[in-house]
Structure 1
């Protein structure tokens, strides 16, 4: 072993525990933990948990849609294995675990999680109670709505950023023609913050966005006329709107959802509660488990069996069989209390705006989306303008070459090489370098006369498109018009009717932990009101005076009454439909008006409340079923009938008049012997005749002739005026060649005393003289009280205050009118 020379010193470690060749630095553990945690928190907030307010997507969701578009997985193409999509996303854009990517892909395909699924899944993508199959067993492709989210990505509409290894570019945000943040909602937990947004109806969100686009100062209350509340994928009922209003104003709030439950006769002596819709993200197995736990703990009584009969053909059907002697309504209230048949949803609208997490209200979310769409359309128009100008430049050069093609050929043949040919072409024909290069690449087959015609047509078309693009870019109003038009197209293509029913306040026990003293719902007196636009609500009488509240707002939407029925909360009423059938219902779940005003905008569409999906039907009247009152029925073809609704069948739906041909029932109303029928036709004829001249008939009878109609006439109103009542006649005239509700109409108010009485089956007398452009009575009303006219969307119209002559002409209204009724 050789000794180390004295002049060579060995390397000594700088740290007492540092080995030779190593470097150890002392750091402050608290500073390191703080810095690392902040980096982790930043990554979770901005790259994982929170959606962007513009497209409503988290990074992983955005990368999935972008990669599937890049793979060509369009709706018209076949499905591919989900594992292949996950691998492409993970390898190129999202360097995280495949499980998280597949979970995000699955959620984008679940129709019970999203209101508008963006991926078309094939295979087992899970249910409310079970998870999905593995990615190797399922297949996926883009849904139609995803194309609207990614459309125009190749037209420089959004900024692109590098992926994790700077080899591939990905969009920073999607163009998103769909207001996805509101339509599909979002949920996520970040570090120190979380987000939870409920899904909404696409058609309603588009209407609200368009209103804000044309009225930038619109308030939340105005926007809620278009977006009244969430629309959950599974339907159900939202009870209580105060929390929704808070969330729309501040970004934070909560609401409660109830299952849709109907009482059905399961057998001769068996009654059951049938659940057809559940609260958001609540599965039937969870409900069954909670019911069993409630029965075992003696919290629930009256339940003998629970069966899940859900299938793909009939959809959700959870049957709860009741024991004999128990009130279905009382058991249902207990179920709402102790099981997930009633659930809560907390809204926390946190999203990224310009890279910063913010809590957004309804107005702010719509504003961010609209600003994004304006930016997208502006950039798209600028891109298309550049492309069309470049193409027009080449076409103009080609036209010059075709006009002097012989000289062009001679110049090219006399040139030594392509560079000299390009230069000489530019010099001789005054062309740009791009035009000269394009001519040099010209194929000989383009030198025909037909090609010249095509080029001239292309030139004209390009010039026209350039002018249109310049017009859009040159005007903010035109730009907003394009945004609104594309929103309309999206709503028309992908929009569906509302599924979730919105109702007023919910009655709950005062203490959440204590059982109610009685399961029975108080059967207190009330009145059920039906508006002319088909909305219904329940009005409680004042406990001291017994009077109904009065409407305090004359501009309230839908605020004109078609029918009012005295009832009790748990009594049974009949809704008479335009197909001549009567459907039983109880008003216990109708929206309640407990205060001092009546607002039909807070009511519910009675067809939805009855569970009727046929939009061709309408409710023409509501009647009590616990009396022997005479009910008058009138059809659009002039048939009248009086029927006594006694000894009714036990069926929930039955026929009250037999309609012939394409006739439809127009009106149903009380018609005692002392009253007089009032019938108005589209030809401005009004017939007044005693109700007693129409004898009462049985339910299956088809009625008798009530009024004599002209060849093209129809009945537009029928009702009964009680004996000794001072009534008014309101008629609204317009033109039949315009779309309903689009043209200004004229109206006339006439004293009922001026109408002479005639016999049944006669033609009546003229009640309004048409102006030159008028040819029909579109709507009418006869009765006591303050008349009110409404537009097609339920807005109030101001009627004339002075009475007119019986056969005089009308006075122009302040807009189109589609309904007339009495003010509540």
Structure 2
């Protein structure tokens, strides 16, 4: 290289060069490729495809043309990039599952919601949809600016006139450099109402606009689950909209449950989704599904999930929502170009920019029409002058040597403009007839009236806004339709509870610590004295010790013999049939090996501050010690449990009750005595305190069998003996004494009755679940037991074998409409009226 050639080399900093080049590239991507214009909602490639189709004449009422012809037109004239980018753009604008309001009318294979590719462009045909022409209407009336194409040989529009509010209707998505956009589609009818409301009141708030435009409206339907994300998106331009597939339950002729999906979330590939669900089923991550079929056809989408016999449809569906794309989210990010600059827009911003653009288009269109009308009026004025001086005009034209002389002569003699003179020379002879003259006069009057109207529009903004409103209302009348996407306003991001239906369950815990839950409906009411139905399959040396009813969403506070407390949600307990054994409770909570469950309290919430601070747990031990502590002390679940009460050696926790601080406490012992005192006799203590004496037991062998917290005045106390005898008496028969006394007689204990095993507070609407050590269970109505004296022996509740005894008694609410399964003992039980032994305090 010679020394002189170095004079053309300019040293530059590579950092500056790279920075400049990258910024240029970034701006090119942002402005010319990835982001839509806020005015017409189109990216350059969309705009060029639509304009190319318009120029090619493939309007909605014209024959289809080959896609390859359209692509070639757009490539050759306006979009110097790959043909696939143009064809893919046109294909997407024709897919009804991609655009809420498709802009292209495609004929042939344009792909599918399963992600199938469209046919090659040489096979398919297309034309504009009628609604797309609303974007292009008035484009030839100087309503928008035009710019040169890539080689300066033609001109293309900078933006479309955009009568259709396309950005809101069809949304947009794109990834630029350093930013992205993801705008959801909306319903035309709602958007039209929202635009009109904005025009009527420019100070309208976004919440007020949301009364018209309620939420995005997706082409594939589905359900918007929760409204918080929609609200955020409308107010800030950013938000997360959760979409759930539309599902319903059906049953086959054989009684098998099915889940039928008829709508899926937007942008979800149906085939891929089904494949992934099948994979989850094979991997046992999704339980309860036996078969999956895609029965979609031309009539619509239909995916069928056949369920196994024991599967609960609601649970399976919620698991499908959790683990598959049957629930997906749409991340709204409303970024669009405003005057060439990317901006994040809220709902009102988008409407405001649309109205401003339409206002400009109306002004420019009106000005264009005014100019054209004035030109026409000018020519018509020339015609009228010529007709008024017809003979002179004809004479002048006949005597002229050539048209140029004739035109000049007309201009000079009648003071006409060159345009008027030229129009007169070009006028056909037939227009000289009397009828034609009248037509010219009428046309002139119409044109003058039009000019006045157009001038009024240009001088009156209210009129211009009314035109915009009328045009938008016309769009609504012509193209408006119903919402496709439903809205579940009150749904929040679903938690584990949403996976489980909230229903009543019978929870059983055996003596050896096996736990399970069973739907309450499995238990049928029987008549008093029946032999019972098989309740629980237990091992020969095991029996059911606890049985109670809980809602699946409740917290269960499980108290053990040693005074420990553990927490568990009812739905976390494994479900089993009435005859199944259940699972060891050690699998669910960290209970010590030689400890066992003693009492269970259920509560709907541990987070309500007012509730936990104004309710108490009252505990009673076998040795008659009682303790009261606020629920708040036990409101923070710990995985390893906590000490709920300090238990003395040789004693164990027996019963725990949830109270409100104003209840009466009744404690009964196996010797048949009960003490009744007000809850206020027991002061609240700390979590680890031991407690105070609740009942004075009659002997070292005596022990407490139960504690009742009486809350209702009309309640009765039910006592049950181990050999199946029971009775109910009024609470008032147990006179109030001081805490720590020996109490009064609760039941006349004999060898026939056996010792007392349970005491319960009951009302007529309660049912009793009684279970014995051999596992037989009976459910009877309390209403069938008459109220009798406190010291009586009672009546026989359940027929027992000689070696069998009752192990547990639980009261439950009576179920409306349940059939009774009556199995009455042959020998009708009669009450024992022995009341010789009076109360003894």
- Structure 2 residue aligned with 1:817: none
- Structure 1 residue aligned with 2:130: 144
Cα RMSD for the two superposed structures: 2.3
Alpha-carbon distance, 1:469 to partner:
1.3
- Structure 2 residue aligned with 1:389: 374
Which is worse superposed, 207-216 or 30-39? 30-39
Runs of 4+ in 1 over 6 A off after TM superposition: none
TM-score by length of 2: 0.59
The yes-or-no answer on 1:63 pairing with 2:48 is yes
The yes-or-no answer on 1:74 pairing with 2:59 is yes
2:343 is paired with a residue of what secondary structure? strand
Report matched runs for 1:444-593 at 5 Å: 444-506=429-491, 510=495, 516=496, 519-523=499-503
2:29 is paired with a residue of what secondary structure? helix
- Structure 2 residue aligned with 1:346: 331
Report matched runs for 1:737-776 at 5 Å: none
- Structure 1 residue aligned with 2:678: none
**Larger radius of gyration between Structure 1 and Structure 2:** 2
TM-score by length of 1: 0.60
Alpha-carbon distance, 1:119 to partner:
0.4
Report matched runs for 1:12-27 at 5 Å: 12-13=2-3, 25-27=10-12
The yes-or-no answer on 1:128 pairing with 2:113 is yes
Alpha-carbon distance, 1:524 to partner:
8.4
The yes-or-no answer on 1:101 pairing with 2:92 is no
Report matched runs for 1:723-738 at 5 Å: none
2:252 is paired with a residue of what secondary structure? strand
Alignment check: 8 A CA contact 2:168 2:191 kept: yes
Alignment check: 8 A CA contact 2:225 2:492 kept: no
1:416 is paired with a residue of what secondary structure? coil
Question: Kindly tell me: are residues 209 and 295 of structure 1, through their superposed partners in 2, closer, same or farther at Cα, counting changes over 3 Å?
Answer: same
The yes-or-no answer on 1:194 pairing with 2:180 is yes
- Structure 1 residue aligned with 2:313: 328
2:273 to 279, 287, 294: 287
Report matched runs for 1:225-374 at 5 Å: 225-312=211-298, 314-374=299-359
Structure 2 distance, partners of 1:524, 1:366, is: 50
Q: Write out per-residue CA displacement over residues 734-779 of structure 1, whole angstroms, 9 at most, x where no aligned residue.
A: xxxxxxxxxxxxxxxxxxxxxxxxxxxxxxxxxxxxxxxxxxxxxx
- In the alignment, structure 2 segments of 5+ residues that lack a partner are 506-550, 555-607, 609-841
Alignment check: 8 A CA contact 2:318 2:498 kept: no
Alpha-carbon distance, 1:418 to partner:
2.8
Structure 1 distance, partners of 2:244, 2:365, is: 44
Q: Write out per-residue CA displacement over residues 284-323 of structure 1, whole angstroms, 9 at most, x where no aligned residue.
A: 21221221122123221110000000001x2101011111
2:170 to 184, 187, 209: 184
- Structure 2 residue aligned with 1:700: none
Alpha-carbon distance, 1:25 to partner:
4.9
- In the alignment, structure 1 segments of 5+ residues that lack a partner are 1-10, 511-515, 526-539, 544-594, 596-824
- Structure 1 residue aligned with 2:190: 204
Alpha-carbon distance, 1:472 to partner:
1.4
Alignment check: 8 A CA contact 1:284 1:318 kept: no
Alignment check: 8 A CA contact 1:284 1:308 kept: no
1:267 is paired with a residue of what secondary structure? coil
1:483 is paired with a residue of what secondary structure? helix
1:109 is paired with a residue of what secondary structure? coil
Q: How many residues align?
A: 509
Q: Write out per-residue CA displacement over residues 448-492 of structure 1, whole angstroms, 9 at most, x where no aligned residue.
A: 112112111211211221122122112111000000000011111
Alpha-carbon distance, 1:419 to partner:
3.1
The yes-or-no answer on 1:175 pairing with 2:161 is yes
Alpha-carbon distance, 1:434 to partner:
1.5
- Structure 2 residue aligned with 1:796: none
Alpha-carbon distance, 1:34 to partner:
1.5
Structure 2 distance, partners of 1:469, 1:508, is: 55
1:117 is paired with a residue of what secondary structure? coil
Question: Kindly tell me: are residues 414 and 508 of structure 1, through their superposed partners in 2, closer, same or farther at Cα, counting changes over 3 Å?
Answer: closer
2:93 is paired with a residue of what secondary structure? helix
Alpha-carbon distance, 1:26 to partner:
4.1
Structure 2 distance, partners of 1:523, 1:397, is: 89
Alignment check: 8 A CA contact 1:327 1:520 kept: no
Q: Write out per-residue CA displacement over residues 510-566 of structure 1, whole angstroms, 9 at most, x where no aligned residue.
A: 4xxxxx4894311489xxxxxxxxxxxxxx9xx9xxxxxxxxxxxxxxxxxxxxxxx
Question: Kindly tell me: are residues 240 and 524 of structure 1, through their superposed partners in 2, closer, same or farther at Cα, counting changes over 3 Å?
Answer: farther
Structure 2 distance, partners of 1:518, 1:419, is: 89
Structure 2 distance, partners of 1:233, 1:332, is: 23
Alpha-carbon distance, 1:39 to partner:
1.3
Structure 1 distance, partners of 2:13, 2:381, is: 71
Alpha-carbon distance, 1:509 to partner:
5.2
Structure 2 distance, partners of 1:279, 1:244, is: 15
Report matched runs for 1:24-63 at 5 Å: 25-63=10-48
Structure 1 distance, partners of 2:157, 2:492, is: 49
Alpha-carbon distance, 1:137 to partner:
1.6
Question: Kindly tell me: are residues 508 and 210 of structure 1, through their superposed partners in 2, closer, same or farther at Cα, counting changes over 3 Å?
Answer: closer
Alignment check: 8 A CA contact 1:236 1:260 kept: yes
Q: Write out per-residue CA displacement over residues 352-402 of structure 1, whole angstroms, 9 at most, x where no aligned residue.
A: 000100000000000000000010011001100110111011112112212
1:218 to 168, 188, 204: 204
Alignment check: 8 A CA contact 1:350 1:359 kept: yes
Structure 2 distance, partners of 1:400, 1:517, is: 88
Structure 2 distance, partners of 1:440, 1:310, is: 69
Question: Kindly tell me: are residues 391 and 519 of structure 1, through their superposed partners in 2, closer, same or farther at Cα, counting changes over 3 Å?
Answer: closer
Q: Write out per-residue CA displacement over residues 705-754 of structure 1, whole angstroms, 9 at most, x where no aligned residue.
A: xxxxxxxxxxxxxxxxxxxxxxxxxxxxxxxxxxxxxxxxxxxxxxxxxx
Alignment check: 8 A CA contact 2:226 2:492 kept: no
Q: Write out per-residue CA displacement over residues 590-640 of structure 1, whole angstroms, 9 at most, x where no aligned residue.
A: xxxxx9xxxxxxxxxxxxxxxxxxxxxxxxxxxxxxxxxxxxxxxxxxxxx
